[in-house]
Structure 1
Amino acid sequence: MTEEMTEQKARAAEWFRTLRDRIVVAFEAVEDSHATGPGAAAAPGRFEVTETSRRADDGSDAGGGLMSVMRGGRVFEKVGVNVSEVYGTLGARAQAAMAARKGIPGMAEDPRFWASGISLVAHMQNPHVPAVHMNTRMFWTPHAWWFGGGSDLNPCLEYDEDTAHFHATQKAHLDPHGAEHYPRLKDWADEYFFIPHRGRARGVGGIFMDDHNTGDWNADFALTRDIGEAFLPAYLPIVEKRRLTDWTEEDREAQLVHRGLYAEYNLVYDRGTKFGLETGHDANAVLMSLPPLAKWI
């Protein structure tokens, strides 16, 4: 590994950590500001921060991260904002999946890897406030490096203007990197966040990319950063607009059933969940995305 790549990996990991810190502060500020309306009688939620670790097969340290989870807040019923930096060697199953998906030769001979990223999932108290997901990441092997990630909105009660705002904000952040990015990443999200056994999307979409490597690390990192930068301005105005809306038991029922879709997708199809479990990362951190309550009919 070159000195330049070592520095680039450090820059990426620091960026993910910085973004995590900003989001945690912003979400706790939402909790503090919610002084009236549904849920305001509760104490403002705060994140509980736990260090996570990954151990190699021989028991040696193989990285870790921070799991930050807020439960039972005024606005957020459960939200996790995790960052990680893990490394080591890929097991046989992970090697095969990686080589097959990315066409990377040489994995069997040199299965070393390094990965860092941020992963966020928010499940809300008020059914009128949509759930949301965001992640960005960098992955390295001796044979290749790439970026991935995106964000998508998951309302159980849909508002067209919220969907329009979420997508317009992401487009505004992507367009400076080239007008082709937003439509491509939007279509990719529509395909990726689809639940085949239900024949439907899990939400109203967003943006998503994977295996992103144009050969220009700085340009690709800049695009990845702006995917992350788009998140708070895309999501917080929707939270502010909907958090004071009164809701009924029928609304809550719709929310719990919709959460079942989210759980099904993350447990059956999500690549990040599969990779985290197959590479031995902390299972609680990997499964942080699951809702606190869900219902199936």
Structure 2
Amino acid sequence: MSDDFAARKDRAANWFRSLRDDIVTAFEALEDRFGGDRAGRFEVTPTTRESGGGGLMSVMRGGQVFEKVGVNVSTVHGTLGERAQKAMAARGVPGMADDPRFWASGISLVAHMQNPHTPAVHMNTRMFWTPHAWWFGGGADLNPCLEYPEDTAHFHATLQAACDAHAPDYYPRFKAWADDYFFVPHRGRARGVGGIFYDDLNTGDWEADFAFTQDVGRAFLPAFLPVTERRLGTPASDDDREAQLRHRGLYAEYNLVYDRGTKFGLETGHNADAVLMSLPPIAKWY
């Protein structure tokens, strides 16, 4: 496949950056509403990848709503190492040994909240290109330590609406994929209450697949903000905080042991702080 994707790459990278800007603005507005003069703000740090590309790491620590939240974007390129080439070949990407160039762009978000009744959340969307193939991937999943069924239902319904606008089988397929992907085998349980996850999305229609990926990104704030606002005033006990810290331990275990994005970022030499942004600020293990 020849590299006739220059304009499409630019469009995708610009979209992920604009989504990042919208989410950062919305999260700071939430801090303003509930934090007053102690409202948190993002610290923005440019990141670079030694072999090509970089991005922005935007992290807020110690906010009144968010204990730690990161919203990162990156656009990187270069040559995949032998280990990454083998991983791509195992996923069915042809020709990597002959021409292992790649380009990738995306947004990655993880939020750990102050109030234990407000769930942690993860979202990412991305585009990946090689001279031989292209695809989109991403999703979003909710991670409460104290589950409220109505919050889970709202989150899923919002993501389902985004999926249903594109194909009737997307939501059941991608929900099942999330249930499988975000399972923690060594604990025998799910990381949270799920959401959607998809990868290797290439229907042959780049515009359609990009439009779907955009709609997944657009659905994030309507899925998450109402849940957050609903729980911010709920009183939290010491036991609630203990449950939150233990659940964060589970989250950290998953991200360090199983998460594809963490492995890919570290193996391809991206900024380690940006890759490990997803880790919670405080957690507990027993």
TM above 0.5, yes or no, is: yes
Matching residue of 1:291: 280
Task: Supply the distance in 2 between the matched residues of 1:112 and 1:254 (Cα, whole angstroms).
Answer: 44
Q: 1:85 aligns with which of 69, 72, 75?
A: 75
- Give runs of aligned pairs for residues 235-274 of structure 1, distance below 5 A: 235-274=224-263
Matching residue of 1:97: 87
Task: Supply the distance in 1 between the matched residues of 2:92 and 2:145 (Cα, whole angstroms).
Answer: 38
**Preserved CA contact (<8 Å) 2:2 2:132:** no
Matching residue of 1:59: none
RMSD, aligned α-carbons = 1.1
Task: Supply the distance in 2 between the matched residues of 1:92 and 1:64 (Cα, whole angstroms).
Answer: 21
Return structure 1 stretches of 4+ with deviation > 2 angstroms: 1-4
Task: Supply the distance in 2 between the matched residues of 1:215 and 1:172 (Cα, whole angstroms).
Answer: 23
Matching residue of 1:174: 163
Q: CA deviation at 1:274?
A: 0.2
Matching residue of 2:264: 275
Secondary structure of 2:5's match? Answer: helix
Deviations 1:266-286 (A, max 9, x none): 000000000000000000000
Deviations 1:99-127 (A, max 9, x none): 11x21221111100000000000000000
TM-score by length of 2: 0.98
Q: 2:39 aligns with which of 36, 44, 51?
A: 44
Name stretches of at least 5 consecutive residues in structure 1 with no aligned partner. Answer: 57-61
Task: Supply the distance in 2 between the matched residues of 1:142 and 1:124 (Cα, whole angstroms).
Answer: 41
Aligned residue pair count? 286
Q: 1:120 aligns with which of 102, 109, 113?
A: 109
Q: CA deviation at 1:4?
A: 4.4
Secondary structure of 2:70's match? Answer: strand
Deviations 1:122-155 (A, max 9, x none): 0000000000000000000001000000000000
Letter in structure 1 aligned against 2:257: V
**Preserved CA contact (<8 Å) 2:3 2:131:** no
Answer yes or no: is 1:189 the counterpart of 2:178.
Answer: yes
Matching residue of 1:53: 48
Deviations 1:243-269 (A, max 9, x none): 111101100000000000100000000
TM-score by length of 1: 0.95
Q: 2:150 aligns with which of 149, 161, 165?
A: 161
Q: CA deviation at 1:45?
A: 0.3
Answer yes or no: is 1:217 the counterpart of 2:222.
Answer: no
Task: Supply the distance in 2 between the matched residues of 1:63 and 1:128 (Cα, whole angstroms).
Answer: 38
Q: 1:69 aligns with which of 55, 59, 75?
A: 59
Matching residue of 2:193: 204
